[in-house]
Amino acid sequence: MKKYTLIGLLAIAMFFTASAANSQSGGFVGPTVFTGQQVGFAVPNGFTGGIMHVTVAQMVSTFPDKTPAIVRGYIIGHLGGDRYMFRDATGNGEVVIKIKNDRWWGLSVGPNDLVELGGELKREKNGMVKYFDAKSIRLAV
Protein backbone atom coordinates (compact mmCIF):
# COMPACT_ATOMS: atom_id res chain seq x y z
CA MET A 1 0.00 0.00 0.00
CA LYS A 2 2.84 2.36 0.86
CA LYS A 3 4.38 1.67 -2.54
CA TYR A 4 1.23 2.85 -4.40
CA THR A 5 0.98 5.98 -2.25
CA LEU A 6 4.60 6.84 -2.97
CA ILE A 7 4.12 6.28 -6.73
CA GLY A 8 1.02 8.50 -6.68
CA LEU A 9 2.82 11.30 -4.85
CA LEU A 10 5.76 11.11 -7.25
CA ALA A 11 3.41 11.30 -10.25
CA ILE A 12 1.68 14.39 -8.83
CA ALA A 13 5.03 16.05 -8.06
CA MET A 14 6.28 15.38 -11.61
CA PHE A 15 3.07 16.84 -13.08
CA PHE A 16 3.39 20.11 -11.17
CA THR A 17 7.12 20.37 -11.89
CA ALA A 18 6.49 19.95 -15.63
CA SER A 19 3.66 22.51 -15.55
CA ALA A 20 5.86 25.10 -13.85
CA ALA A 21 8.70 24.53 -16.33
CA ASN A 22 6.40 25.00 -19.33
CA SER A 23 4.74 28.19 -18.12
CA GLN A 24 5.85 31.35 -19.90
CA SER A 25 6.78 34.51 -18.11
CA GLY A 26 6.82 37.98 -19.55
CA GLY A 27 4.23 40.46 -20.62
CA PHE A 28 3.51 44.10 -19.92
CA VAL A 29 5.11 45.40 -16.72
CA GLY A 30 3.65 48.91 -16.64
CA PRO A 31 0.59 50.42 -14.98
CA THR A 32 -2.92 49.06 -15.24
CA VAL A 33 -5.23 51.63 -16.79
CA PHE A 34 -9.01 51.42 -16.61
CA THR A 35 -10.76 53.79 -18.98
CA GLY A 36 -14.39 54.63 -19.24
CA GLN A 37 -14.89 53.99 -22.50
CA GLN A 38 8.56 43.04 -43.40
CA VAL A 39 10.67 44.30 -41.18
CA GLY A 40 12.04 41.67 -38.83
CA PHE A 41 8.95 39.51 -38.41
CA ALA A 42 9.29 35.87 -39.34
CA VAL A 43 6.39 34.58 -41.41
CA PRO A 44 6.96 30.92 -42.30
CA ASN A 45 5.99 30.11 -45.88
CA GLY A 46 4.55 33.57 -46.37
CA PHE A 47 5.29 36.89 -48.01
CA THR A 48 8.96 37.84 -47.63
CA GLY A 49 8.89 41.34 -49.05
CA GLY A 50 8.96 44.55 -47.05
CA ILE A 51 5.98 45.75 -45.06
CA MET A 52 5.55 49.45 -44.47
CA HIS A 53 5.38 50.73 -40.92
CA VAL A 54 2.31 52.89 -40.42
CA THR A 55 1.12 55.30 -37.79
CA VAL A 56 -2.01 54.69 -35.77
CA ALA A 57 -3.64 57.71 -37.42
CA GLN A 58 -2.95 56.33 -40.93
CA MET A 59 -4.21 52.89 -39.97
CA VAL A 60 -7.38 54.04 -38.23
CA SER A 61 -8.38 56.54 -40.91
CA THR A 62 -7.77 54.43 -44.03
CA PHE A 63 -7.44 50.70 -43.35
CA PRO A 64 -10.45 48.40 -43.79
CA ASP A 65 -11.20 45.51 -41.41
CA LYS A 66 -8.52 42.78 -41.13
CA THR A 67 -5.80 44.80 -42.85
CA PRO A 68 -2.31 43.61 -41.79
CA ALA A 69 0.15 46.24 -40.58
CA ILE A 70 3.19 46.88 -38.42
CA VAL A 71 3.03 49.72 -35.93
CA ARG A 72 5.86 51.06 -33.81
CA GLY A 73 5.33 52.71 -30.46
CA TYR A 74 4.73 52.18 -26.75
CA ILE A 75 2.33 50.08 -24.71
CA ILE A 76 1.31 52.72 -22.18
CA GLY A 77 -1.21 50.86 -20.04
CA HIS A 78 -3.08 47.66 -19.32
CA LEU A 79 -6.85 47.83 -19.75
CA GLY A 80 -7.53 44.39 -18.30
CA GLY A 81 -7.41 40.88 -19.72
CA ASP A 82 -5.52 40.85 -23.01
CA ARG A 83 -6.26 44.52 -23.87
CA TYR A 84 -3.69 47.32 -23.68
CA MET A 85 -3.48 50.99 -24.68
CA PHE A 86 -0.89 51.66 -27.38
CA ARG A 87 0.59 55.02 -28.45
CA ASP A 88 2.52 55.13 -31.71
CA ALA A 89 6.07 56.46 -31.90
CA THR A 90 4.88 59.83 -33.24
CA GLY A 91 2.84 60.35 -30.07
CA ASN A 92 -0.14 61.47 -32.15
CA GLY A 93 -2.24 58.31 -32.22
CA GLU A 94 -3.55 55.83 -29.68
CA VAL A 95 -5.44 52.59 -30.17
CA VAL A 96 -6.54 49.65 -28.04
CA ILE A 97 -4.46 46.58 -28.81
CA LYS A 98 -5.12 42.94 -28.04
CA ILE A 99 -2.17 40.69 -27.22
CA LYS A 100 -2.94 37.11 -26.23
CA ASN A 101 -0.75 35.64 -23.47
CA ASP A 102 0.91 33.13 -25.80
CA ARG A 103 2.16 35.93 -28.08
CA TRP A 104 4.52 37.48 -25.50
CA TRP A 105 7.05 34.61 -25.72
CA GLY A 106 8.61 35.59 -22.40
CA LEU A 107 9.23 39.21 -23.46
CA SER A 108 8.74 41.80 -20.70
CA VAL A 109 7.82 45.29 -21.89
CA GLY A 110 7.36 48.53 -19.96
CA PRO A 111 5.80 51.85 -20.99
CA ASN A 112 9.23 53.24 -21.98
CA ASP A 113 10.14 50.34 -24.28
CA LEU A 114 9.75 50.98 -28.01
CA VAL A 115 8.07 47.96 -29.59
CA GLU A 116 6.94 46.81 -33.02
CA LEU A 117 3.61 45.06 -33.27
CA GLY A 118 2.64 43.01 -36.28
CA GLY A 119 -1.05 42.27 -36.63
CA GLU A 120 -4.29 43.46 -38.12
CA LEU A 121 -6.84 46.17 -37.50
CA LYS A 122 -10.26 44.96 -36.37
CA ARG A 123 -13.36 47.06 -37.03
CA GLU A 124 -16.98 46.84 -35.88
CA LYS A 125 -19.66 46.21 -38.50
CA ASN A 126 -20.45 49.94 -38.47
CA GLY A 127 -16.82 50.74 -39.39
CA MET A 128 -15.65 51.93 -35.97
CA VAL A 129 -12.24 50.69 -34.85
CA LYS A 130 -12.50 47.82 -32.37
CA TYR A 131 -8.79 47.16 -31.68
CA PHE A 132 -5.47 46.20 -33.24
CA ASP A 133 -5.00 42.44 -32.92
CA ALA A 134 -1.26 41.94 -32.35
CA LYS A 135 0.01 38.65 -33.76
CA SER A 136 3.66 39.35 -32.93
CA ILE A 137 5.55 41.69 -30.65
CA ARG A 138 9.24 42.54 -30.41
CA LEU A 139 11.48 45.27 -29.08
CA ALA A 140 12.16 47.79 -31.84
CA VAL A 141 15.75 48.25 -32.94
DSSP 79-120: EETTEEEEEETTSS-EEEEE--GGGSTT-EE-TT--EEEEEE
pLDDT number for residue 47: 56
- Tens-of-pLDDT digits for all 141 residues of the chain? 566 665 655 555 554 444 444 445 567 676 554 443 334 444 445 555 556 678 999 988 988 998 888 999 999 999 999 999 999 989 889 999 999 999 998 899 999 999 999 999 999 999 999 999 999 999 987
Tell me if 102 sits within 8 A of 24, measured CB to CB.
yes
Please report, for the chain, the start and end positions of each structural domain, with discontinuous segments joined by +: 26-139
pLDDT number for residue 67: 87
pLDDT number for residue 119: 92
What fold is seen in the domain 26-139? OB fold (Dihydrolipoamide Acetyltransferase, E2P) (2.40.50)
Phi, psi of 42 (to 5 degrees): -85, 125
**Which whole-number Å values give the CA distances from 35 to 41, 49, 77, 97, 124, in the listed order?**
31, 38, 10, 14, 19
